[in-house]
Structure 1
Amino acid sequence: MTKLPLALTQGDPSGVGPELALKAYASRHARNLPPFFLIADPAHIARIAHELSLDVAIEETGPSEACKIFSRALPVAPIGCNVRGVAGAPDPQDARATILSIERAVEYVVEGEARAVVTNPIAKSVLYAAGFSHPGHTEFLGELARRHYGGDYRAVMMLWAEELAVVPITIHIPLAEAPKRLTRALIVETGEIVARDMRARFDIANPRLAFAGINPHAGEDGALGREEIDTIAPAIAELRAKGIDATGPYPADTMFHASARKKYDVALCPTHDQALIPIKTLAFDRGVNVTLGLPFVRTSPDHGTAFDIAGKGVADATSLIEAIRLAGRMAS
């Protein structure tokens, strides 16, 4: 029986997403990529391929034929509306197509026509102008999970590379708000989701979770802040009582050198930049954004729309290629 393909979204059509999709397809044999199809405007994708002189055949199709087509052409499932998509010039009029692409990708998984979702980068500011109400991709996917599967799903963002996996416990909020939002309940819930999905999606029987402190030197026994004493350490103790291998809180500045990374499978950090700075330093071109806590697999490149280089043919598809490979691995 033929495996189901992966569903790849267009991202912002004025960014590098279409170029990355074309380049990823062109490298399918060299990188041993699983079959995928792109949800986009076929005419727009063909135009981008022509403008960038990328020798990639485009074939309009539905998901059911994508695996058969994949060897000879990039399968493109039409989004149902025209896309302007001028490189480097984001247009709110294209926001509907960007959102539709994400919604369709999830629907294809729900309907059993795709086995995972891979998303190209979006520009939230462009979507906000069109009425998009979610802080980001991760939160929108959580809403789509609730819409299609019922229940209450909390999406957790993990950035993954072979040498490091990190989870920011608070994400898209001002830094000043992070200590207020960092509750014991939030830490415990995040740790439970991470441990569960590392077992289920990454086949790690007993995942080791290392928690960073929020203050310098992890609070220095209260001298530099009490969040570690009052909130983080009690949450870690609760996770350990639930049978999860959780340790910390550790000073964030000593958690990411090579020997320290050998002692855990995932680092969980109270703030966004504590988690993302080390992985983007170690694996900027290879990092993958993985959404945990959902009833379906979702991965994405760990970078933005790069409007400044869109249309120039210089975008590096490595992160998208790694996202496609990891989605195939997780969905297996």
Structure 2
Amino acid sequence: MTSTASPAPLNIAITTGEPAGVGPELTAAALAGAAAHWPGATFTVLGDAALIEARARAVGVEWAALRGAGHVGVGHRPLAAASQAGRLDAANGRYVLGLLDDAIDGALGERFDAIVTAPLQKSTINDAGVPFTGHTEYLAERTGTARVVMMLAGTGARPLRVALATTHLPLKDVPAALSVDGLVQTLAIIDHDLRRDFGLPVPRILVTGLNPHAGENGYLGREEIDVVSPALEQAVKRGIDARGPYPADTLFQPRYLDEADCVLAMFHDQGLPVLKYATFGEGVNITLGLPIIRTSVDHGTALDLAGTGRADAGSMIAAIDTAVTMARNRRAG
């Protein structure tokens, strides 16, 4: 007999991030329409229960009613110190990191189908005595992943996606961080995850050069000749539709992007200013290559807006929507 039982609902974890920032209130605002926006999904909000309820109230969300509807729960972790909107306190640095650990452990243990992270303040964690570079690097370390890829994406029928060959590095360190093997691995991760989690049968990836004018045939640098082009040749032999290297200053226009699924930029500020200009407030940060699904907002803690009710939940909604879509695709595959 064929079973007609409905599949178990997805369970998406959301870390509320820096308690003095906008994360708790944006989470509440985004989830206000959870049942209508994401049928078949439930959400576990990780953070201090009293803090979340207070910030929900500040943005007009009836938190008790929302939880009572059965689509939203709380994974309570108490604050280390009382938190005031807009005022950082290093005493809560380890609390923020604990929320991320709770989410990672739950996803690795298959209690969560995906995690969505609200913004955190790197300085607060470092001031608490924990060396911390960023979400992306920490997720890689905690999951034992040798290489991950940071990708930001807009929304819409054909979203702009920009992945990075290097992430949070000083500009002077970027050339030495690029290698043929590293770029081939990065392209393979992008190709694999776009197929599995985004339903793209043959992703087309356009790759920038490192130097102005993509090196101008070696006159403005040899990285395109010695590193990028050989990596593209190897990727193509592996069945990856990767093209380039293109000059970054002319790549981001419709004649190229209309037929592309992703752009791979060589460093953080080469690709992300364009992406954020086009999609800021509705963009999503996605970590590719992990054994778990992780998405995030495209902005920081916005301490000046915390507690005012003026922060826009658009990016959080987009991050949740992307996580749900990826989890559905992964479960179906």
The letter for the 1-side match of 2:44 is F
| Corresponding residue for residue 121 of structure 1 | 119
Deviates more, 1:78-87 or 1:279-288: 78-87
Deviates more, 1:30-39 or 1:297-306: 30-39
- 1:175-199, Cα deviation, whole Å (9 max, x unpaired): 1111121121221111111111111
Counterpart Cα distance in 2 of 1:247 and 1:231: 14
**Percent of residue pairs identical:** 40
Contact 1:10 1:119 in 2 (8 A): yes
TM-score (norm 1): 0.91
Is the aligned partner of 1:43 residue 2:50? yes
Deviation at 1:168, TM superposition (A): 1.3
| Corresponding residue for residue 57 of structure 1 | 63
| Corresponding residue for residue 93 of structure 1 | 91
Of 138, 143, 151, the match for 1:158: 151
The letter for the 2-side match of 1:157 is M
| Corresponding residue for residue 23 of structure 1 | 29
Distance 1:69-1:104 versus aligned 2 partners, 3 A rule: same
Contact 1:8 1:118 in 2 (8 A): yes
Of 218, 222, 225, the match for 1:222: 218
Distance 1:178-1:281 versus aligned 2 partners, 3 A rule: same
User: Moved runs in structure 1, 4+ residues, more than 4 A?
Assistant: 80-83
The letter for the 1-side match of 2:22 is V
Counterpart Cα distance in 2 of 1:180 and 1:253: 22
The letter for the 1-side match of 2:296 is S
Of 278, 289, 305, the match for 2:285: 289
Of 77, 82, 85, the match for 1:84: 82
Of 255, 259, 267, the match for 1:259: 255
Distance 1:228-1:23 versus aligned 2 partners, 3 A rule: same
Counterpart Cα distance in 2 of 1:233 and 1:122: 37
| Corresponding residue for residue 313 of structure 2 | 317
The letter for the 1-side match of 2:259 is K
Q: CA RMSD in A?
A: 1.8
| Corresponding residue for residue 109 of structure 1 | 107
Counterpart Cα distance in 2 of 1:311 and 1:69: 21
Deviates more, 1:319-328 or 1:110-119: 110-119
- 1:222-247, Cα deviation, whole Å (9 max, x unpaired): 12111111111111111111111111
Where 1:304 maps in the other structure, the secondary structure is: coil
Contact 1:57 1:73 in 2 (8 A): no
- What residue ranges of structure 1 are gaps of 5+ in the alignment? 60-67, 147-151
| Corresponding residue for residue 172 of structure 1 | 168
| Corresponding residue for residue 6 of structure 1 | 12
Contact 1:192 1:239 in 2 (8 A): yes
Of 283, 296, 304, the match for 1:300: 296
Contact 1:56 1:73 in 2 (8 A): no
Where 2:172 maps in the other structure, the secondary structure is: helix
The letter for the 1-side match of 2:298 is D
Deviation at 1:32, TM superposition (A): 3.9
| Corresponding residue for residue 244 of structure 1 | 240
Contact 2:209 2:246 in 1 (8 A): yes
Contact 2:29 2:56 in 1 (8 A): no
| Corresponding residue for residue 71 of structure 1 | 69
Deviation at 1:135, TM superposition (A): 1.4
The letter for the 2-side match of 1:207 is P
Counterpart Cα distance in 2 of 1:70 and 1:140: 34
TM-score (norm 2): 0.91
Counterpart Cα distance in 1 of 2:189 and 2:38: 30
Contact 1:212 1:251 in 2 (8 A): yes
- 1:40-98, Cα deviation, whole Å (9 max, x unpaired): 11011122233x15232248xxxxxxxx9563674211114555221111111111110
Counterpart Cα distance in 1 of 2:180 and 2:297: 30
- What residue ranges of structure 2 are gaps of 5+ in the alignment? 1-6, 329-333
Counterpart Cα distance in 1 of 2:68 and 2:320: 14
Distance 1:30-1:254 versus aligned 2 partners, 3 A rule: farther
The letter for the 2-side match of 1:47 is A
Please list, as runs of the form range in 1=range in 2, the aligned pairs for 1:111-150 lying within 5 A after superposition: 111-146=109-144
Contact 1:12 1:98 in 2 (8 A): yes
Contact 2:42 2:72 in 1 (8 A): no
The letter for the 1-side match of 2:101 is E
Where 2:207 maps in the other structure, the secondary structure is: strand
